[in-house]
Chains A and B, each alone.
Chain A
Amino acid sequence: MIVTRAGFLTSVQDLGRTGFRQFGVSLSGALDSFALRVANLLVDNNEGAAGLEITFGGLQLHFQDKRIVAWCGGEFDVRVGPTELPAGHVCRVSAGDQLKFGRPKLGSRCWLAIFGGIDVALVLGSRSTDLRGNFGGFEDRVLRDGDVVPLSARPGSSTAATAISSWTAPHDWVSPARRDPILRFVRGFDWFRFSDVTVQRFTDHEFTVSTDSDRMGVRLTGPELRRIDNADLVSEAVAPGTVQVPPNGQPILLLGDCQTIGGYPKIAHVITVDLGIAAQVRAGDHVRFSEVSLADAHALLLERERALERFRIGLSLRGS
């Protein structure tokens, strides 16, 4: 597969790199791992196959062989030749076909799964590109114009692909981008370090996404979140979803490329089922936070997983 145009920021990602946090290695991976899993299921891949994370579009791919593709994410205009390919739909591409991603009308990222998966070497157990550490993925870096990206030569099960081509995934799954989204959170350990008035501000006011946001974190501006105490905090683990508050009082929502430890107070954690929504925000967007209990966070996740299981069974029945 030839990258005719690499677009703004495109990288190879799978479900992330686990097991090396003790050595300071970030999770990396698709910022919306659920979207990648769904896209992979649609093209009959293993859920954890490596795909492309495309930020702000502009990507143009030239296929050298017959493949099946599907994508999930923001509201992008995606075309195979002149034909539109909506999110969550499966499409066959032939040798010589061009797949083009326009700029998103809403949201900022999408994930493309290609039958067979992207065939780059596993580095520390993952095919994800670590953009901070500059390793993994395709040649340890983001894609560039002219790259020839290897796809797995797995023998084609084109019968399954023909059968599932009429299947689409639920809208919420394939198009998670929202205008002025509400992100649900559970309280962080340092919640008590903020006054009642401050935590009220955190949940009552909207925050604006700042331009210096990236895969490490979404920087937010809004009412100042000032701590009551000034105890020196000892650095400890942070994770994608953690909302930390630096001394300037402007929160940062950490995403997949975040470092493994941090010393800023953790006011909240966006719940896993909403990380896909968080992965879509872009500069100027307004976000709000809404509290849920830990039990609810787990129940929501379990509910979504059960639905995905049904979807998976449905796909395999159609394919058989």
Chain B
Amino acid sequence: MQITALGDSALIVRLRDQFEDAPEETLNEVLRAFQQLRSAAIPCVIEVAPAYTSVAVFFDPIAVAKASATPGEGFDWLTKRVRDAVGRAADRGRAVKTSSRIVEIPVCYDSEFALDIDRVAEHAKVSTPEVVDLHSAAQYRVSCIGFTPGFPFLSGMPKRLATPRRDVPRKEILAGSVGIGGPQTGIYPLRSPGGWNLIGRTPLKLFDPTKDPPALLRAGDRVRFRAIKRAEFDSLKR
């Protein structure tokens, strides 16, 4: 574990160097540290957020300076608190439960939504229906939320579906679009630009700022895609 400053108002706790080597273990370790840091409720900490191999801790540097006994040593004071919280997590590692929710996401893979499915099929050297079968049969895990609000980066996609991003990103991708970017798959929660290969669309809302939590998915969730017909898409969308 390594703790380094992210500017003067945040720090990053790095649990591992790599993610791809051992996604499950790495994610579990990150989520453990994330939960431990949240339950430690260290004073002056504003919020904590996990990423692939790390957890970021955002703090109020003024409050930290005032809380530490020695002037100018606030950062060290906070680092120690963070280290203690995560250190305890390592000891009691297995006792800390990480999220094991399974979320099913209906996806319509019709050509109207699957603008790049032929490109993915060609790259994988399989037929288009096989892309749908492969993509909807696998089980995924949310390794990180980012890029735009609520955007889940999913690991666990069958390797042969890995397809390089488009050379020229699209200026606008509609909300709910399911895409493949390299070895990852994900869902665009909001209308946004993006370079991933689009293979379908879900009628579900992945991000709703009027709800708390605002995102359908969170890091650690397990996800399955269920292929649906256009009629079901329309009825769910309503």
Contact = CB atoms under 8 A, between A and B. Distances in A.
B235 interface: no
Most buried by B among A21, A189, A259, A294: A21
A12 to B, nearest CB: 15
Contacts of B56: 21, 236-237, 239
A134 B210 CA distance: 12
Interface string B1-15: 000111111101010
Interface in B56-77: 56, 58, 61-62, 64-65, 72, 74-75
A123 B8 contact: no
Contacts of B8: 186, 241, 269, 271-272, 294, 297-298, 301
Contacts of A266: 6
Contacts of B62: 301-302, 305
Interface in B69-109: 72, 74-75
Interface residues of A, number: 43
A133 B61 contact: no
Contacts of A269: 5-8
Interface string A178-200: 00000000100100000000000
Give chain A's interface secondary structure class.
mixed
B146 A242 contact: no
A235 B7 contact: no
Contact of A186 (B7, B18, B64, B192): B7
B8 to A, nearest CB: 4
B124 interface: no
Interface stretch (A22-30, A43-51, A54-62): A22-30
A295 interface: yes
B50 A22 contact: yes
A23 B75 contact: no
Given A24-B149, A236-B56, A294-B75, A186 B5 contact: yes
B148 interface: yes
A73 interface: no
Contacts of A82: none
Interface in A130-150: 130, 132-136
B209 A22 contact: no
Most buried by A among B7, B10, B190, B215: B7
Contacts, number: 148
A294 B150 contact: no
Nearest to A238: B6
B207 interface: yes
Contacts of A239: 6-7, 9-10, 56, 58
A18 interface: yes
A302 B219 contact: no
Contacts of A24: 145-151, 207, 215
A18 to B, nearest CB: 5
B214 A124 contact: yes
B6 A237 contact: yes
Given A237-B6, A237-B12, A295 B72 contact: yes
Contacts of B75: 294-295, 298
Interface string A230-265: 000011111101100000000000000001110000
Interface string B144-188: 111111110000000000000000000000000000000000000
A132 B151 CA distance: 13
Given A136-B209, A189-B6, A294-B8, A261 B149 contact: no
Given A237-B12, A237-B56, 7 more contacts: A20-B47, A24-B149, A24-B207, A261-B146, A301-B65, A302-B61, A302-B65
8 closest residue pairs by CB, A with B? A269-B7, A237-B56, A261-B146, A21-B49, A23-B215, A297-B8, A135-B209, A22-B49
9 contacts: A23-B214, A24-B151, A189-B6, A236-B14, A236-B56, A239-B58, A270-B7, A298-B61, A301-B65
